[in-house]
């Protein structure tokens, strides 16, 4: 084969591959879509994935399923998506942990900006401080006083070392000048369960994850983040009202895909997610879980995550948080 014919063959092969790729994009989706949740079932991270999956299934006419892949503070599930085929059929349900990990793990096996295509945020919720009913405190001021009276004896649960709940609590302890003992769990739902059982003293989670327990009287709510009280729990003050105006942490959730996912697929996903989040059924379901729909464009989401990485890197450093 002469050089000219070889070049023609290579060019033809390349054009054929481009044609197949373009056709695949036009026909997307034509198979089951997986949303990987890098945490255990039970938390709002898992709930939000299932709610959005239900809406997308109906809109796309293709099954969208949720898969929980737990481990390493969310890293295991995230890495599985980073390494997945970039065809739009494997997605990641992200949350604050995506922006916390770069400051926490020096050898993190992925870069949230370079290795993932950010699609959109889907929801946001205030952080919520809860304590076991038998702790004997009814206000944040009383909790701080107890913590200073018994330094290192109060226990707090989280979804694992370096998780959103862990860092959110470390920040509160730092600004309040209190020392407490960290008890990590495999997911924040398990941490909340042990606070309810009285084996752990306190937990900070999203309002979405804790509101039902406080409404049921199994936990005591002490404070919520933001500049106004939650309509679901009007008797619970904001952190500023409770005496800690420097503390303001909110939770967010979003969707990402492998970095090389074709732009038309990412854009289609973004449009479908925005449409899903506007549906009254989903908005009502989010509201019942104390969360609000919150969407943005892929570019806006990328900038948002990059900014969050900087914020949490500073928190990790100032609180001197390390993980094994």
Contacts of 235 (CB under 8 A, 6+ apart): none
pLDDT, residue 7, reads 58
- Model confidence pLDDT, tens digit, residues 22-62: 444 568 999 999 999 998 887 788 999 999 999 999 999 99
CATH code at position 263: 3.40.190.150
Q: Is there a domain that residue 235 lies in?
A: no
d(CA 276, CA 270): 10
Are residues 256 and 216 located together in one domain of the fold?
A: no
Residue 70 is assigned to a structural domain of this protein: yes
| DSSP assignment of 234-256 | TTSPBTTTTT-TT---EEEEEEE
Q: How far lies 1's CA from each of 5, 7, 112, in Å?
A: 6, 10, 46
- Give, in order, the Cα–Cα distances in Å from 100 to each of 108, 119, 129, 186, 319: 11, 19, 19, 17, 13
- Same domain? For 107 and 52 the reply is yes
Query: Considering the domain boundaries, does residue 105 fall inside one?
Result: yes
Query: Mind listing the pLDDT tens digit for each residue in 228-287?
Result: 899 889 999 999 999 999 898 888 999 999 999 999 999 999 999 999 999 999 999 998
Q: What is the pLDDT of residues 183-240, one digit of tens each?
A: 999 888 899 999 999 999 999 998 888 999 999 999 999 999 988 899 889 999 999 9
Query: Which structural domain range is residue 67 located in?
Result: 7-125+251-318
Would you tell me how many other CB atoms lie within 10 Å of the CB of residue 106?
7
Are 257 and 311 within one domain?
yes
Question: 323 lies in a domain?
Answer: no
Label residue 131 by pLDDT band (50, 70, 90).
very high
Alpha-carbon distance of 152 to 215, in angstroms, equals 29
In sequence order, the β-bridge partners of residue 223 are 129
- For residues 138 and 119, membership in a common domain is answered with no
Model pTM score: 0.76
The total number of structural domains in the chain stands at: 2
Residue 18 pLDDT greater than 50, yes or no: no
What's 171's domain CATH number? Answer: 3.40.190.10
Q: Has residue 107 been placed in a domain?
A: yes
Q: What is the pLDDT of residue 20?
A: 44
């Amino acid at each position: 084969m002469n050089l000219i014919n070889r070049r023609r063959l290579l060019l033809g092969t390349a054009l054929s591959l481009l044609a197949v790729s373009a056709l695949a994009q036009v026909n997307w989706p034509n198979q089951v879509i997986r949303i990987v949740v890098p945490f255990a079932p039970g938390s709002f991270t898992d709930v939000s994935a299932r709610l959005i999956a239900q809406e997308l299934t109906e809109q796309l006419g293709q099954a969208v399923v949720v898969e929980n892949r737990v481990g390493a503070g969310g890293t295991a599930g995230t890495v599985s998506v980073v390494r997945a085929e970039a065809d739009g059929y494997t997605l990641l349900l992200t949350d604050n942990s995506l922006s916390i990990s770069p400051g926490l793990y020096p050898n993190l096996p992925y870069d949230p900006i370079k290795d993932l295509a950010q699609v959109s945020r889907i929801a946001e919720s205030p952080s919520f401080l809860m304590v076991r009913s038998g702790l004997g405190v009814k206000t944040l001021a009383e909790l701080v006083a107890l913590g200073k009276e018994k330094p290192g004896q109060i226990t707090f649960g989280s979804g694992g070392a370096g998780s959103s709940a862990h860092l959110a609590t470390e920040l509160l302890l730092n600004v309040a000048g209190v020392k407490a003992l960290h008890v990590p769990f495999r997911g924040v739902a398990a941490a909340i369960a042990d606070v309810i059982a009285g084996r752990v003293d306190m937990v900070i989670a999203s309002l979405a994850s804790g509101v039902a327990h406080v409404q049921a009287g199994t936990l005591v709510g002490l404070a919520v983040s933001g500049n106004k009280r939650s309509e679901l729990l009007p008797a619970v003050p904001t952190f500023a009202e409770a005496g800690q105006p420097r503390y303001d942490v909110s939770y967010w959730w979003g969707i990402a895909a492998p970095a090389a996912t074709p732009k038309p697929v990412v854009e289609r996903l973004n449009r479908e997610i925005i449409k899903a989040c506007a549906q009254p059924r989903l908005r009502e379901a989010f509201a019942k879980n104390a969360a609000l729909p919150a969407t943005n464009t892929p570019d806006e989401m990328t900038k948002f995550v990059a900014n969050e990485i900087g914020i949490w890197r500073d928190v990790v450093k100032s609180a001197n948080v390390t993980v094994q």
